[in-house]
Amino acid sequence: MNYFAESFAVFAMLINFVGYRQKDMNRYRLISGIAMLCLGTHFLLLDALAAAIGCYLAFFRNLISMVSQRGYIVLVFLALNIAFLLFELIVLQHGFLIILAYSASIIFTLGTFVLSNTQQMRRYFLVAETFNIIYAISVGSVMGTVGISLSIISITSKMWQERKHNRAHSQVYISDK
């Protein structure tokens, strides 16, 4: 195991845990972007180029999305994801498993720019994290797998808390009538 590479995943995991608990979208984007720098370095050190590129794009995507949500920016990031995917498939001849990493990156891109509701964002990101965990396991990322697992737990935990809170408030509202 590459302990140096794995340490970057540990930092990303800790940072992401804080990020997913944010209620403010821009605060989430900033914290998540910092985590993506750490995670991208982790995957780069493991020679998992697809995940590294996705993470580094996520860093820039998150920063830009804090100041602009324009449609052309979404298209640029989608085009970059597809261009890197094709480059890896055709030129570098990497296996088709990289499609999982790029699919997750595309979901994160759309979620970051299109969604403004944190509840919706969590649902979409849960799908993306499922793709990511399969890819992390396949490239031998021990702490990446642990971090993504914890991220999935954090997302589902927050979704459960929100659902519980919403049900409690809707029952109070109904009983007030």
Q: What SS3 class is residue 96?
A: coil
Amino acid letter for position 1? M
What is the residue extent of each domain of the chain?
3-176
- Whole-model pTM? 0.78
Cite the DSSP H helix spans in 20-70. Answer: 25-45, 49-67
- Model confidence pLDDT, tens digit, residues 114-138: 777 777 788 888 999 999 999 999 9
The 3-state DSSP class for residue 86 equals helix
SS3 at position 11? helix
CA distance 141 to 145: 6
Residue-wise pLDDT tens digits, 70-89: 888 989 999 999 999 999 99
Task: Give the per-residue pLDDT at 159.
Answer: 83
- First-to-last C-alpha distance (Å) of the chain: 61
